[in-house]
Amino acid sequence: MPEVRVVNVTKKYGKLYALNNVSLTIHDQEYFSLLGPSGCGKTTLLRLIAGLIEHDSGEIHIGDRRVDKDPPEDREIGFVFQTFALFPHMNTWDNVLYGPKVKNYDSKQAETIGHEVLELVKLSERLNAYPSELSGGMMQRIAVARALAAGGKILLLDEPLGQLDAKVRNDIRYEIRRMAKDLKLTAIHVTHDQQEAMSISDRIAVMKKGKIVQIGSPKELYMHPNSLFVAFFIGESNLLEGYVTKLEGKNAEVELREGYKIQAYNERDIKVGDRVVLAIRPETCEMKLGLIGEGLDGLFGQIEKTTFEGTIVRYEIRLVNGDRFVINRPSLTEEWVKLGQEVTITYPKEKAHLFPYPANGLSDEISV
C-alpha cells in the first residue's frame, strides 16, 4: 500500500541544486536507506517526502495519492529528527501522546497507543521526566515512539542515530528495523554511515551532489558498484590508474604507471587503449611474504605502514611502481607482517573492477 514514489524531483537553493531530477520508488514495507556524503541532499529529499519543504518541480506519491501539494500533517507519516525535537515543555508521556491527541483520538485510545509504542521501544520508566532530564539514548527511543504513535504508515528517519555513541548506536539500529518490520511500515532512513546503511537496509540509494548514483541491495552495491564513486564510498577500494593493453573476453590486462602490468575484469564497455581506473577491495586480497611468481599473477610491494585497528590490521603497501595499496588482515588469527617486508598481493581477478577514467579526473569523482 504505502509505496513512496518520487518522480523527477528538483529542489534548488539559489543556484545550488540540492536535488537534481531525482526519481526513486520505495516499496511497501521496505526498509530503505538514503546514503551519501554530507551535503548530498539526503535530508532535503527526506523533508520533501515529509512535506517540510517545498520542491521546485516533480511529483511525490504516497500509495496512490499524489501528495506534493499536501501539508505534512496530511501525509500520514512519522518523522524522527536528527536532534529528536522532543517538545521541551512536555514530559515523556505527553510527548508520546501528542500525535494521537492532535488527531483527536479519545483519551482511552490515545493512552492505549501510548503504552503500546512505549513497550515497543522498551521504555516504561521516567514517563514524567522532561526531555532535558533524559539521556541521548532515551530521547532517541522517545522520538521513535512519538513518531510511531502518530500512526503513519511511513516512518522517516533523519540520521536518527547520529547523536548517540557507537555502542548504543549499534544496538538501537537493529531495534528500529525490527519495529518497522513488526508494524509493517515503510521506512526511509537517512545516514552518511555506510556501515549503518549496509547492516539494516533492504535497499540503499547512494547519493552524490543532488543525484542518485545507484540503488540496490547492500550486497549489490558492494559486489557490483556501478561507478567509481560507489566502489569508493561503499566499503573501501584501492584505486589504481592505468591503460588497457589487452582484452580477451572479459579478461583484461592493464598497464599501470611505470609499465607495470596486472590483470583485471571488464564488465563494462571498455576498449583497448582506454584510460581506466581499477578498483580492488582490501579484504579480497591475499598477501604472501616475499616476491612470488612473475608479474600479472600478483602485485609486488613493500610494507610501509602497519596500523592495528582492533579486529583487523591494516597494511599500507608501496607497490614497485610507486602506487600505494591498502589491505586488511585479521589481527588475531594471523601473524603480523613487519615493516619493510617485501610481499606479494594476489586477488581473484573477477573482483578487480575496471572503470573508465572519469571525465573530470579521479579526485573529483571520489570527492564528496
Ligand X SMILES: Nc1ncnc2c1ncn2[C@@H]1O[C@H](COP(=O)(O)OP(=O)(O)OP(=O)(O)O)[C@@H](O)[C@H]1O
User: With binding defined as CB under 8 A, does residue 221 bind another protein?
Assistant: no
User: With binding defined as CB under 8 A, does residue 2 bind another protein?
Assistant: no
- In whole angstroms, give the CA distance from residue 28 to residue 154: 9
Mention every residue, 6+ apart, whose C-beta is less than 8 A from residue 252: 244, 246, 263, 264, 265, 266, 270, 354
**CB nearer to another protein: pick between 32 and 233:** 32
Shortest distance in whole angstroms from residue 15 CB to ligand X: 10
Tell me the DSSP string of 242-263.
Answer: EEEEEEETTEEEEE-GGG-EEE
User: With binding defined as CB under 8 A, does residue 137 bind another protein?
Assistant: no
**CB nearer to ligand X: pick between 4 and 254:** 4
**Grid cell listed for 158:** 533523519
Count of residues near ligand X by CB under 6 A:
12
- In whole angstroms, give the CA distance from residue 175 to residue 170: 9
Shortest distance in whole angstroms from residue 363 CB to ligand X: 19
Radius of gyration (Cα) for the chain, nearest Å?
Answer: 25
- In whole angstroms, give the CA distance from residue 19 to residue 41: 6
**Grid cell listed for 318:** 608501496
User: With binding defined as CB under 6 A, does residue 18 bind ligand X?
Assistant: yes
**CB nearer to another protein: pick between 153 and 314:** 153
**Grid cell listed for 175:** 531495534
Residue of the chain from 28, 61, 85, 349 that contacts another protein (CB under 8 A): 85
H or E element, residue 174: helix 166-182
Mention every residue, 6+ apart, whose C-beta is less than 8 A from residue 4: 25, 26, 49, 60, 61, 62, 154, 186, 188
**CB nearer to Mg ion: pick between 158 and 323:** 158
Q: Which residue has the cell 521541551?
A: 88
* 23 touches, from another protein, Mg ion, ligand X, none (C-beta below 5 to 8 Å by class): none
User: With binding defined as CB under 5 A, does residue 33 bind Mg ion?
Assistant: no
User: With binding defined as CB under 6 A, does residue 329 bind ligand X?
Assistant: no
CB 82 within 8 A of CB 163: yes
User: With binding defined as CB under 8 A, does residue 215 bind another protein?
Assistant: no
Mention every residue, 6+ apart, whose C-beta is less than 8 A from residue 340: 302, 303
* 50 touches, from Mg ion, ligand X, another protein, none (C-beta below 5 to 8 Å by class): another protein
**Region binding Mg ion by CB under 5 A among candidate stretches 20-28, 37-45, 112-120, 222-230:** 37-45
* 38 touches, from ligand X, another protein, Mg ion, none (C-beta below 5 to 8 Å by class): ligand X
Site string for another protein, 37-76 (x = CB under 8 A): -------------xxx------------------xxx-x-
CB 351 within 8 A of CB 284: yes
User: With binding defined as CB under 5 A, does residue 186 bind Mg ion?
Assistant: no
Paired with 288 in beta bridges are 344
Shortest distance in whole angstroms from residue 188 CB to ligand X: 13
Shortest distance in whole angstroms from residue 297 CB to Mg ion: 46
Interacting residues with another protein (CB under 8 A): 50-52, 71-73, 75, 77-79, 81, 83, 85, 87-90, 94, 98-99, 101-104, 146-147, 149-150, 152, 156
Interacting residues with Mg ion (CB under 5 A): 43
Interacting residues with ligand X (CB under 6 A): 13, 16, 18, 36, 38-44, 192
